[in-house]
Structures are given as structure tokens and as C-alpha cells.
Amino acid sequence: MYVFIPFAATQSGLPYNPTRDPVQFAFMPTATQVPQDTDWVAGSWDTDPAGVIYPYSAKCLVGPAGTADLGIGTYIIYVKVTDNPEIPVLIVGQLQVS
């Protein structure tokens, strides 16, 4: 199952296409646990030309065949976009695996 995170970005006040920037996800079991280097897994981008508010989506395949194989539980989802010079890390939601 893919986890999709709607995404929009600006640079100097203008719309910015982030799809050339690497995107990574971390799924943490508690809200107080900060992702470490080994917690990050690769994500990828989707584009939606009709998406006015969120023209892009960061996505990550979760499950036995995915980049993140999670056990039963609730996870805090972090997204990291590596740009130059900024590398924003955002808490973007929760994922419940049952």
C-alpha cells in the first residue's frame, strides 16, 4: 500500500517543483522519538497537473514488498526533502497498521 502525502512548495514566493529533490520517509512508533539516519527509507514523487493546491505527492510503499515493512501499531509519519541548502523535515500525519 502506498502512503501519499499531498505536497506544495514555493521558492522566493513562486511555485517550486520539488520532484528533482530526493524525498524520504520515516515511520516512528512514538511522537517523542526523532528519526535517526537508519530510520529513513526512500520515497518518490507523483505529480497531478490538475492539483491546484497540492500539485505533487510524496509517496512511500509500505508493506512486505515495500521500502517500509511495519508491524501492527500506530506510527508518526515524517517526510524529509533534500534540497540545497535546505533539508526540511516535516511531521505529516499518522499511519495505523492493523
Amino acid letter, residue 96: Q
* Three-state SS at 38: helix
The C-alpha atoms of residue 22 and residue 74 are separated, in whole angstroms, by 25
Q: How many domains does the chain have?
A: 1
Q: What is the pLDDT along the chain (98 residues), one digit of tens a residue?
A: 999 999 999 989 999 999 999 999 999 999 899 999 999 999 999 999 888 899 999 999 999 999 999 999 999 999 999 998 899 999 999 999 99
Look at residue 49 in the predicted model and tell me its pLDDT.
86
**Res 59: pLDDT:** 98
The whole-model pTM stands at 0.93
pLDDT at res. 11: 87
Q: How far apart are CA 48 and CA 89, in angstroms?
A: 23
Closest CA to 26 of 14, 38, 16, 8: 38
